[in-house]
Amino acid sequence: MKKSLIILFVLSLMLATACKKEKKDVEVETETEENVTNTESADTSRAEATDKIVVLLDSKSGSTAKGNVVFRQRSNTVSMTAVFSGLEEGTHAVHLHEKSDCSSDDGSSAGGHWNPTAQPHGEWGDEAGYHKGDIGNFTINANGTGTITFFTDEWCIGCSDDAKDIIGKSVIVHQGTDDFKSQPSGAAGSRVSCGGIIQ
């Protein structure tokens, strides 16, 4: 009777130790899983940050024109969503120009249209050719505001292809309309707003 009691005591002790150990193992596993999850979410937010650029446009040539342009890349497509204000009612041209330098009062420091493929100026998608910066025209309403949304797989954000990478270029809004014919810039008039595309 005494012997069996001792055996029972030893058995229950072993069981208690085993339970404790198991519980500890589970706790460690949970902690590791949490760490992995945290690392993954941090990586995702970093990737999103480099694939999206917000460009604020400053008024140029004595105008009151301003703009907010968001470029975002998803797989092979770059989208551009722009909101403009302080412009005269009617149609205005918007292009990507070759330099991100908007320091001059008339926006001339941004250089000509971004044209890495040495094409004539034209309407986007035209068989006769067009610049990679030839976005086109958008409409401004009576309140002086307007928007444009544009998608293309011919741009990228920060890739190694100089014919596609929009980093280091600028967004320019013009006083007038792009006629898609006149060389080298569509006779769109003065540069009323400018913002550099900088990461």
List interacting residues with Cu ion (CB under 5 A): 95, 172
Q: Any contact of residue 191 with Zn ion (CB under 5 A)? A: no
Residue 178 binds which entry of Cu ion, Zn ion, none, CB below 5-8 Å type-dependent:
none
Interface stretch with Zn ion, choices 30-38, 54-62, 102-110, 129-137 (CB under 5 A): 129-137
3-state SS, one letter per residue, for 58-113: EECCCCCCEEEEEEEEECCEEEEEEEEECCCCEEEEEEEECCCCCCCCCCHHHCCE
Are the beta carbons of 69 and 57 closer than 8 angstroms? yes
The residue among 97, 73, 53, 49 whose CA lies nearest residue 152 is 73
Looking at beta carbons, which residue is closest to Cu ion?
95
Residue 129 identity = G
Residue 134 binds which entry of Cu ion, Zn ion, none, CB below 5-8 Å type-dependent:
Zn ion
Residue 131 binds which entry of Zn ion, Cu ion, none, CB below 5-8 Å type-dependent:
Zn ion
User: What does DSSP assign to residue 156?
Assistant: B
Q: Of 131 and 164, which CB lies nearer to Cu ion in the complex structure?
A: 131
Query: Whole-angstrom Cα distance, residue 24 to residue 18?
Result: 10
Residue 172 binds which entry of Cu ion, Zn ion, none, CB below 5-8 Å type-dependent:
Cu ion
CB neighbours of residue 33 within 10 Å? 10
Task: State the nearest-atom distance from the C-beta of 195 to Cu ion, in Å.
Answer: 12
Q: Of 86 and 129, which CB lies nearer to Zn ion in the complex structure?
A: 129
Binders of Zn ion in range 99-128 (CB under 5 A): 113, 121
Q: Of 113 and 191, which CB lies nearer to Zn ion in the complex structure?
A: 113
The residue among 141, 132, 12, 47 whose CA lies nearest residue 89 is 141
List interacting residues with Zn ion (CB under 5 A).
113, 121, 131, 134
